[in-house]
Amino acid sequence: MKLLLHVCCGPCLAAFDEYFKQKGIQYSGYFYNPNIHPYLENTRRMRTFMEYAAGLGLETIVDPQFDLATWENKLGSLSDSERCAYCYKRRIEACAKTAAANGFTHFTTTLLISPYQDHDMLRETGMRAGEKFRVEFYYHDFRELYRHGQDIAREAGIYRQKYCGCIYSYNDSRFREKIKWD
């Protein structure tokens, strides 16, 4: 198995890395998260990913796309669920497509670790993307590792974000006052 892992942030990568090493799964990291706003936060999470991946000796593919315009203009009138469906599909399909184009046999996403995401929707999106791009979606319920990943990140001093990513989740974040921009 040769797997491409879509990574949304550093803390989630930490738990996946442990899991894949225990299973003997060879993998590379893929960063593509145009949903993360504002730009400063997007680059902060990308930089965190790249630094942590470098420390692990992980091969990476990085697409630094930033797309506030789509979320503001095209997705503004959608419900939260509809917006997340678009967001999952865009990122997961990009991972599947990149995996297929680069000789990977499998792909998956660190979003599967989060108890705050729509897990069933993620699984279905991954399965459909796998069929579309003819590369196998690696599914496991990684939510059992969420707390452990947060603990590793805290101990390692990895940046832990306080909202999901898009401008709407930022506006709704109960930790908004604690978010620093310097």
For ligand SF4, which residue of 3, 9, 84, 100 counts as binding (CB under 6 A)? 84
Q: What string of H, E and C letters represents the secondary structure of 53-122?
A: HHHHCCCEEECCCCCHHHHHHHCCCCCHHHHHHHHHHHHHHHHHHHHHHCCCCEEEEHHHHCCCCCHHHH
Residue 32 C-beta: closest distance to ligand SF4, Å: 13
x-marked contacts with ligand SF4 along 11-50 as a string, rule CB under 6 A: ------------------------x---------------
Task: Please identify, among the stretches 15-23, 57-65, 146-154, 163-171, the one whose residues bind ligand SF4 according to the rule CB under 6 A.
Answer: 163-171
Strand pairing partners for 27? 3
Task: Please identify, among the stretches 11-19, 60-68, 140-148, 165-173, the one whose residues bind ligand SF4 according to the rule CB under 6 A.
Answer: 165-173
- Beta 60-62 vs 26-31: how paired, if at all? parallel
For ligand SF4, which residue of 6, 45, 83, 106 counts as binding (CB under 6 A)? 83
Quote the CA–CA distance of 51 and 32 in Å, as a whole number.
Answer: 16
Q: Closest CB to ligand SF4 among 15 and 87?
A: 87
For ligand SF4, which residue of 28, 42, 98, 169 counts as binding (CB under 6 A)? 169
Q: What string of H, E and C letters represents the secondary structure of 6-25?
A: ECCCHHHHHHHHHHHHHHCC
CA 68 to chain centre: 17
Q: Closest CB to ligand SF4 among 30 and 168?
A: 168
Residue 20 C-beta: closest distance to ligand SF4, Å: 23
Cis-peptide, bond into residue 34, ω within 30° of zero? no
Strand pairing partners for 64? none
Residues that bind ligand SF4 (CB under 6 A): 35, 83-84, 87, 164-166, 168-169
